[in-house]
Chain A
Amino acid sequence: MKFGKRLKRQIEESLPEWRDKFLSYKDLKKLVRLISTTDASPQAEGEFVSLLDAEVEKFNAFFMEQEEEFVIRQRQELQERIRRAAESLRPSEAGYAAEMGRIRKDIVNFHGEMVLLVNYSSINYTGLAKILKKYDKRTGGLLRLPFIETVLKQPFFTTELISRLVKECEIMMEAVFPAAEEQVERREREALAMAEQSIFRNAVAALITMQELRKGSSTYGHFSLPPLILPDPDLLQSLQIPSPIPIQ
């Protein structure tokens, strides 16, 4: 049940248009429960599998659509940046600063959206793995291994392209951003302000969720992931903003 709650929270924190694209974990769990009690083996399994396939299809369609848009946008960001840089070459101009600020913001948000897509992929994969595990456990079936095999090859899980775009975006960032000035107090103040922004907020939520998911479970086994180790654990703590919705 913990994953279900975490997934729900993640969905709430996610961008509006993404909300119905996540795994219908709760529904699938209900189905598993139903199957395990009534125990109508072959048909029920077929039904379950077809439902899973539909979910996978949903992920694939959404993922590929987003990917396509990111591909277009990535080129867009590059072009835009180059054009703007060419137009106002003198950094002293006021308009230039504003433009650069806008470009930077766009790039950072673009980066964030792509990372969130990778996170989307990860969360759905985790959900699928969990639901399959539950199914095998409840019904004594052997669905998990072969099914997860097919999932591994699905477009929504093969996120190499997006990761590549993310890295390219980071490189772009290096070029666009001026040298870093370490100002801790200002950072903290800004941190809170930035955390209000939904993409950033979503990313923070995703990191926290991931950390919690991997803290440890009652069914820790050979297929479980190790706990999440962040290089700077304080970062997340300082960024955690009180959620408007009380979470049990």
Chain B
Amino acid sequence: MKKSAVRQFCSMKISGAMSSSLPTLPAPLEENYPKLPDSQQVTMERELSSNRVPPHNSTMTPYRAPYHSNNGVVELLTSSTSKFSADQYYSSVSSHEIHPNNAPFISQSSSDEFSVASSNLPHSGTFQPSSSNFPGECTEATWCPDSVEGILDYSNNIAANNNQIQSSSIVASDELMKQNEWWTDFMNDDWKDILETATETEAKVVPPVGQRSPNLSVHQSAITQSAPSHSGEISAATNPSPAANASAAKPRMRWTPELHEGFVAAVNQLGGSEKATPKGVLKLMKVDGLTIYHVKSHLQKYRTARYGPESSEGTSEKKTSSQEDLSSLDLKTSIDLTEALRLQMEVQKRLHEQLEIQRNLQLRIEEQGRYLQMMFEKQCKTGVDLLQTPATVAQPSHLSSDLTDPAAKKELPEKGQDGSTAGPSNAKIEEESPRPVGEKMKRTDAEANGEAYITDGSEFPHQKRARSHDTKSSSDTSAAN
């Protein structure tokens, strides 16, 4: 998607600018990259790292191959974990997401050192063990607890460079060996540099990000398609911003408490919110991707919050009235008020609790839906082969068109009309022949959805009509099974 491409690009800029002086690090550092929202990013990330490599080691480019092979796995995992995107801001990347990337890599690599590193790197929380392998990395352990949100930005950015980066030849395991050796050579001195620079400039730094930054910095100059508006949207410490990227005039920044802390520190350094200028604050913060526009608007909000609490949001009325109340308050009434506030708090807490539960449910529902879709698509391919022989005469053309093109919107209006006829016919099919398909459908725990998918690829349009068929067919198949 466009958004993700832009995001990718932005994070790229951020990391690049952060450590422009740092030498590039070997591609093995790429292992630290967390799971990417889509395989494309993985591809790009690898490509980028390999691109970066040429200045130092021309043999690095073949490095990309193992990642390409992982893409399918990556994609599968990311699609099955909807929670991933939800967690990208705070939680470190779940280790299972990284492992698929690493596993093939490890198998290819003959270097024990590297495989140890890569197996340890997936989770930022587990980063510490790996640091023991590399002398210079010890100080990095302090970064580990930080959340890994920046990682996605970086990986996102890398993907944006896909246009410029050409994927090339296949990786040989000896290439990896060379990379590992090269990496360890750099480790001692460069890591300390990275750490110092990173901790200075970043309010919130993620270890893998820090590692990656040297990789990206070399490409900073290579990034010709830098869109200033885009880079402005993302700060290294914040999350990727949405499609707001599209308008250069209004880039949207997502402020986090950590970023805000950096902001406040900068403001205080400049002598307070009144004296501080957006330009000065921007310079002091040294956060990539932060534009003066962001700082300006944030500073404005900050000033209002500090010096105009009386004119702040809708609570002003209540505040003044409550102040009047409180001034003439005796102890008994203040207790009442406290109780009332407590009650209000209880309701609010309850609401929040329910909202969180609801949200998790919604996420899981969508995850399930995606999984079903995927399963269905898989079944389609196997089902078509199986159906073509035993299927009843009238159906094959119907069904094959339904199955092979579930997403073909052109056919959908036709399906809409044929739905009533396709319904019973599909029900029959489910009863009669595609035993493997039917069974597999059952396993996915949603017969109705399965049949709906068969009819026209989306479960709702015909779910109602198909429902009676579902119960009939499911009872039949269950009886048969």
Interface residues of chain A, those whose CB is within 8 Å of chain B, are 15-17, 39, 41, 45, 53, 56-57, 60-61, 64, 67-69, 71-76, 97-98, 101-102, 104-106, 108-109, 111-113, 115, 118-119, 122, 125-126, 129, 133, 136-137, 139-142, 144-145, 148-150, 152-155, 157-161, 163-166, 170, 173, 177-178, 180-181, 183, 186-187, 189-191, 193-194, 197-200, 203-204, 206-207, 210, 219, 221-223, 225-226, 228, 230-232, 235, 239
Indicate which residue in B255, B334, B345, B349 contacts A71 across the interface (CB closer than 8 Å).
B255
**B361 → chain A closest CB, angstroms:** 5
Contact A142 B463 (CB under 8 A): no
Contact A17 B314 (CB under 8 A): yes
Specify which chain A residues have a CB less than 8 angstroms from the CB of B261 in the assembled complex. 75
Interface size class of chain B, counting residues whose CB lies under 8 Å from the partner chain: 35 or more
Specify which chain A residues have a CB less than 8 angstroms from the CB of B326 in the assembled complex. 97-98, 101-102
Contact B461 A190 (CB under 8 A): no
Contact B457 A194 (CB under 8 A): no
Indicate which residue in B347, B373, B449 contacts A222 across the interface (CB closer than 8 Å).
B449
Specify which chain A residues have a CB less than 8 angstroms from the CB of B239 in the assembled complex. 155, 158
Specify which chain A residues have a CB less than 8 angstroms from the CB of B166 in the assembled complex. none
Specify which chain A residues have a CB less than 8 angstroms from the CB of B322 in the assembled complex. 101-102, 105
Contact A170 B413 (CB under 8 A): no
Interface string of B302-337 (1 = CB under 8 A from A): 100110010001110011001100110101001111
Instruction: Using A181-B335, A194-B340 as known contacts, say yes or no to A72 and B302 having CB atoms under 8 A apart.
Output: yes
Specify which chain B residues have a CB less than 8 angstroms from the CB of A71 in the assembled complex. 255-257, 260
Task: Report the bound CA distance from A180 to B340 in whole Å.
Answer: 11
Contact B340 A191 (CB under 8 A): yes
Interface residues of chain B, those whose CB is within 8 Å of chain A, are 1, 3, 37, 82, 85-90, 239, 241-244, 250, 252-257, 260-261, 264, 298, 301-302, 305-306, 309, 313-315, 318-319, 322-323, 326-327, 329, 331, 334-352, 354-356, 358-359, 361-363, 365-366, 368-370, 373, 406-407, 409-410, 412-413, 415-416, 446, 448-449, 456-461, 463-464
Indicate which residue in B82, B343, B412 contacts A191 across the interface (CB closer than 8 Å).
B343
Closest Cβ neighbor of B406 among chain A residues:
A142
**B388 → chain A closest CB, angstroms:** 25
Specify which chain B residues have a CB less than 8 angstroms from the CB of A180 in the assembled complex. 342
Specify which chain A residues have a CB less than 8 angstroms from the CB of B309 in the assembled complex. 76
Instruction: Using A119-B351, A207-B350 as known contacts, say yes or no to A173 and B336 having CB atoms under 8 A apart.
Output: no
Q: Would you list the 7 A-B pairs with minimal beta carbon distance, nearest first?
A: A190-B340, A140-B412, A140-B416, A153-B85, A68-B255, A98-B326, A194-B340
Specify which chain B residues have a CB less than 8 angstroms from the CB of A193 in the assembled complex. 340
Contact B318 A142 (CB under 8 A): no
Contact A105 B341 (CB under 8 A): yes
Q: What are 18 A-B pairs at a CB distance below 8 A? A: A72-B298, A102-B322, A104-B338, A105-B318, A137-B461, A140-B461, A141-B458, A145-B370, A149-B370, A155-B242, A155-B254, A161-B90, A177-B341, A190-B339, A191-B343, A200-B344, A221-B463, A225-B365
Indicate which residue in B253, B323, B338 contacts A177 across the interface (CB closer than 8 Å).
B338
**A103 → chain B closest CB, angstroms:** 11
Closest Cβ neighbor of A134 among chain B residues:
B460
Contact B260 A75 (CB under 8 A): yes
Contact B305 A152 (CB under 8 A): no
Contact A144 B319 (CB under 8 A): no
Contact B350 A235 (CB under 8 A): yes
Task: Report the bound CA distance from A140 to B370 in whole Å.
Answer: 18
Contact B369 A210 (CB under 8 A): no
Indicate which residue in B301, B306, B369, B413 contacts A140 across the interface (CB closer than 8 Å).
B413
Specify which chain A residues have a CB less than 8 angstroms from the CB of B244 in the assembled complex. 57, 60-61
Instruction: Using A140-B415, A190-B339 as known contacts, say yes or no to A160 and B3 having CB atoms under 8 A apart.
Output: no
Contact B347 A235 (CB under 8 A): yes
Closest Cβ neighbor of A17 among chain B residues:
B314
Contact A145 B458 (CB under 8 A): yes
Instruction: Using A137-B461, A230-B350 as known contacts, say yes or no to A197 and B344 having CB atoms under 8 A apart.
Output: yes
